[in-house]
Structure 1
Amino acid sequence: MSRILRFVAGLVLIGLALLLGAYVASRADPIVRRTTVTLPDWPKGAPPITLALLTDIHLGNASMDRARLDRIVDQVNALKPDLVLIGGDFLAEYNKSQAVARSRLIAESLSRLKAPLGTVAVLGNHDYNTDPKAVTNALSRIGIPVLENTAIQRGPIVIGGLGDFDTNHADVATTTAAMAKLHGANVILTHSPDAPTPLPTTIRLLLAGHLHCGQIVLPLVGPISVSAGQRRYLCGVVHDGPRTVVVSGGLGTSNAPLRVHAPPDLWLVTVGPAKR
Structure 2
Amino acid sequence: MRLRDAAMLVASAGWALLLHMLLLASSAPVERDMRVHAPVPPTRVVLLSDLHVATPGDSPARLRQTVAQVNRLHPDLVLIAGDFLSTDSLAFAASPGDAVAPLAGLHAPLGTIAVLGNHDDQGRRRLEALLPRMRVTLLENRAVRRGPLTIVGTGDTFTGHSRPAEAFAAARPLGGLTVALAHEPDVTPELDPSLRLVLAGHTHCGQIAPWPFGPLFTASAYGRRYACGVIHEGARSIIVTGGLGTSNLPLRLGAPPDLWVIDFGP
The TM-score, its normalising length taken from structure 1, stands at: 0.89
How large is the RMSD of aligned CA atoms in angstroms? 2.0
Aligned partners of 2:165, 2:8: CA distance in 1, in Å? 59
Aligned partners of 1:171, 1:94: CA distance in 2, in Å? 27
1:41-52 equivalences under 5 Å are 42=39, 46-52=40-46
Aligned-partner SS, 1:255? coil
Quick check: 2:25–2:257 contact (8 Å CA) kept in 1? yes
- Counterpart of 1:169 in structure 2 is 161
Structure 1 runs not aligned, ≥5 long = none
The TM-score, its normalising length taken from structure 2, stands at: 0.92
For residue 105 of structure 2, the aligned residue among 112, 127, 139 is: 112
- Counterpart of 1:140 in structure 2 is 132
Quick check: 1:61–1:92 contact (8 Å CA) kept in 2? no
Deviation of 1:250 (Å): 0.5
Divergent runs of 4+, >4 A: none
- Counterpart of 2:66 in structure 1 is 72
1:105-254 equivalences under 5 Å are 105-128=98-121, 130-195=122-187, 197-226=189-218, 229-254=222-247
Once the two structures are overlaid, the 10-residue window that deviates more, 119-128 or 2-11, is 2-11
Quick check: 2:118–2:156 contact (8 Å CA) kept in 1? yes
Aligned partners of 1:37, 1:180: CA distance in 2, in Å? 21
Deviation of 1:131 (Å): 1.4
Aligned partners of 2:204, 2:88: CA distance in 1, in Å? 18
Quick check: 1:94–1:126 contact (8 Å CA) kept in 2? no
- Counterpart of 2:22 in structure 1 is 23
Aligned partners of 1:265, 1:183: CA distance in 2, in Å? 31
- Counterpart of 2:249 in structure 1 is 256
Aligned-partner SS, 1:145? strand
Structure 2 runs not aligned, ≥5 long = none
Aligned partners of 2:17, 2:95: CA distance in 1, in Å? 30
Deviation of 1:17 (Å): 1.0
Give the AA of the match of 1:163. Answer: G
Aligned-partner SS, 1:230? coil
Deviation of 1:106 (Å): 2.5
Aligned partners of 2:185, 2:5: CA distance in 1, in Å? 48
CA gap of 1:179–1:228, structure 2 versus 1, over 3 A, is: closer
Aligned-partner SS, 1:223? coil
Measured against aligned partners, the alpha-carbon deviations of 1:193-229 in whole angstroms (never above 9, x if no partner) come to 1226521222111100111111111234321223793
Deviation of 1:253 (Å): 0.9
CA gap of 1:269–1:196, structure 2 versus 1, over 3 A, is: closer
Aligned partners of 2:203, 2:64: CA distance in 1, in Å? 23
Aligned partners of 1:225, 1:233: CA distance in 2, in Å? 12
Give the AA of the match of 2:106. Answer: L
Aligned partners of 1:132, 1:79: CA distance in 2, in Å? 30
CA gap of 1:155–1:248, structure 2 versus 1, over 3 A, is: same
Measured against aligned partners, the alpha-carbon deviations of 1:162-204 in whole angstroms (never above 9, x if no partner) come to 0111221111110100111212111110001122652122211
Measured against aligned partners, the alpha-carbon deviations of 1:15-36 in whole angstroms (never above 9, x if no partner) come to 1110010000011111111101
Give the AA of the match of 1:206. Answer: V
Aligned partners of 1:9, 1:93: CA distance in 2, in Å? 36
- Counterpart of 1:5 in structure 2 is 4
Aligned-partner SS, 1:246? strand
Kindly, what percent of the aligned residue pairs are identical? 45
Deviation of 1:7 (Å): 2.5
Deviation of 1:241 (Å): 1.1
Measured against aligned partners, the alpha-carbon deviations of 1:66-100 in whole angstroms (never above 9, x if no partner) come to 111111000000000100000001111257xx87x
